[in-house]
Amino acid sequence: MGPVVRDSDCVRFLQWCLPRLGLRWPGYRKVRRTVCKRLRRRLRALDLEDLAAYRAHLERDGPEWQRLDALCRIPISRFYRDRGVFEVLGARVLPDLAESAAERGTERLRAWCAGCASGEEVYSLRLVWDLAVQSGYPEIDLHILGTDAEPVMLQRAVAACYPAGSLKELPATWRERAFAEEDGLFGLRPAFRHDITLRRQDIRRRRPKGPFDLILCRNLVFTYFAQPLQVKLLGALRARLGPRGVLVVGAHEDLPNGGLERIAPGLPVYRQVPAVKK
């Protein structure tokens, strides 16, 4: 029959374990079934009959908490997710950043996608720049860093091969130009994989060095992490933004404190507020 994991038992278990991992239950309420399925598989692998037995196992086996932490990662992504965000990036944010770079005599913009999962966000940004922006700023290059804690997701990002459903929000002309279909999957053409670095990195423990002109940290820190960790990581993100750098968070996320100004009404797109000179 296998282990029994009822929804009510899973909810109680998550409400117990998530705070111990620096995570927050409200962020998991709608996606809990994904974690519950993983927990059921883990119980089967450990030959445990229920979550009460797994809780006892956790209290005996410290390293198992790392495995549980990995089970709680939610890698939901797709191309052009929250279409309005990418439209404002292409129409306003990236052109403004490119003009600022040109004024400074800089030929490179730097962007960081934190929690990039299987690469859809990284490559969406690449397509926005290559197909909608760069023709107006041919002297400027955009270099993109994607980081994620999950090695399997990064392997998929390197492969850059996706089911049709992942591309449904992309403009049709971009989809036709940027992807080649084979065996029911869509592979990103090599021309749109340039100036991209993918790196395994858990944002809670390590962050890349800045400054970045643009940081996308969507549906990660401000959805799943506990409030004290949100505050800490927002400070780390701001420290890695350039003087007029832009931070993009998830459509339904709220920032824990100030220091950033919203620059796109109704969208989670913020700019670093310059310090006032005294």
Q: Where in the chain is the domain with CATH 3.40.50.150?
A: 83-272
Which stretches does DSSP call E strand in the chain?
108-114, 141-148, 161-163, 179-182, 185-188, 196-200, 212-216, 241-248, 260-262, 269-272
The model's confidence at residue 254, banded by pLDDT at 50, 70 and 90, is very high
What CATH number has the domain spanning 83-272? 3.40.50.150
pLDDT of residue 278: 52
Going by their DSSP bridges, the two strands 269-272 and 241-248 should be labelled as antiparallel
pLDDT digits (tens, 9 = 90+) for 92-145: 999 999 999 999 999 999 999 999 999 999 999 999 999 999 999 999 999 999
Cβ distance 153 to 126 under 8 Å? Answer: no
Measured distance CA(222)–CA(217) in Å, rounded = 9
Instruction: Say what the pLDDT of residue 156 is.
Output: 97
The set of residues, in sequence order, having a beta carbon less than 8 Å from that of 174 and lying 6+ positions away, is 127, 131
Q: What amino acid is encoded at 242 in this protein?
A: G
Residues with Cβ within 8 Å of residue 45, at least 6 apart in sequence: none
Residue 275's pLDDT band (cuts 50, 70, 90): low
Q: What is the pLDDT of residues 174-206, one digit of tens each?
A: 999 999 999 999 999 999 999 999 999 999 999
Query: Distance from CA of residue 7 to its chain's centroid?
Result: 27
